């Protein structure tokens, strides 16, 4: 899906970087469901890496041009933020690497990480707009054309997804080539 764009103001982007990198195909279904809903609800253009779902589902967005890594704002769910390996990897990227330098430490605690990075959770895709939340810690605001880099597993209670049933059925419509195999 692509957003209507105004050439004077490029759309903000959600890059679902976790697809194909965190977990197997079952995990990626949850990741893509969350990413597609989050992008639609927050009016972001969804870009995906080259992952197997691109060949399976009709609604999967195409690859797009991404800004350089240092311009992408990491956005993660609490499960990934708590993972020591991911924290170590993320700490090598800005703004976290500068936080480590400033503090003179080798590792960030989960609390420090959550203070620096925006987070998402089930409330980020609440069907009621007044209940929807997007925790943007550390005063991160995206400039026009800015990019959020999404990481997480997003395995929330399915009651969170139920109000979005119609959108998810559309999102996961099988591609014609896959339909012939099933």
Q: What is residue 135's DSSP assignment?
A: B
Calculate what percentage of the chain has a pLDDT beyond 90.
31
Give residue 137's pLDDT band: very low, low, confident or very high (50, 70, 90): very low
Question: What residue segments make up the domains of the chain, in order of their start?
Answer: 13-179
pTM of the model: 0.84
Summarize the confidence of residues 24-44 as an average pLDDT. 93
Rounded CA-CA distance 101/165 in Å is: 45
Summarize the confidence of residues 35-50 as an average pLDDT. 91
Q: Is residue 164 scored above 70 in pLDDT?
A: yes
Q: Is residue 4 scored above 60 in pLDDT?
A: no
String of DSSP letters for 66-122: ---GGGEEEEEEHHHHH-HHHHHHHTTSTTHHHHHHHHT-S---HHHHHHHS-EE-G
Give residue 142's pLDDT band: very low, low, confident or very high (50, 70, 90): low
Rounded CA-CA distance 60/33 in Å is: 10
Q: Dihedral sign, CA of 25, 163, 156, 147? A: positive
Q: What is residue 12's DSSP assignment?
A: P
- Cross-strand pairs, 75: 150
Q: What is the mean pLDDT of the chain?
A: 82
Q: What is residue 15's DSSP assignment?
A: E
């Amino acid at each position: 899906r692509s957003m209507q764009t105004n050439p004077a103001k490029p759309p903000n982007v959600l890059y679902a970087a976790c697809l194909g990198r965190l977990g197997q195909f079952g995990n990626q279904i949850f990741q893509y469901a969350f990413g597609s809903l989050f992008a639609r609800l927050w009016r972001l253009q969804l870009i995906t890496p080259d992952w197997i779902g691109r060949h399976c589902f009709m609604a999967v967005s195409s690859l797009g041009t991404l800004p350089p890594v240092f311009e992408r704002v990491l956005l993660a769910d609490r499960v990934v933020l708590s993972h020591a390996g991911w924290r170590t990897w993320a700490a090598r990227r800005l703004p976290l690497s500068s936080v480590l330098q400033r503090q003179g430490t080798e590792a960030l605690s989960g609390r420090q990480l959550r203070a620096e990075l925006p987070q998402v959770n089930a409330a980020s895709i609440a069907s009621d707009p007044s209940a929807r939340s997007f925790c943007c810690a550390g005063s991160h605001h995206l400039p026009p054309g800015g990019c959020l880099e999404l990481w997480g597993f997003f395995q929330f209670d399915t009651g969170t997804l139920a109000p979005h049933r119609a959108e998810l059925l559309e999102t996961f419509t099988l591609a014609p080539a896959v339909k012939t195999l099933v």
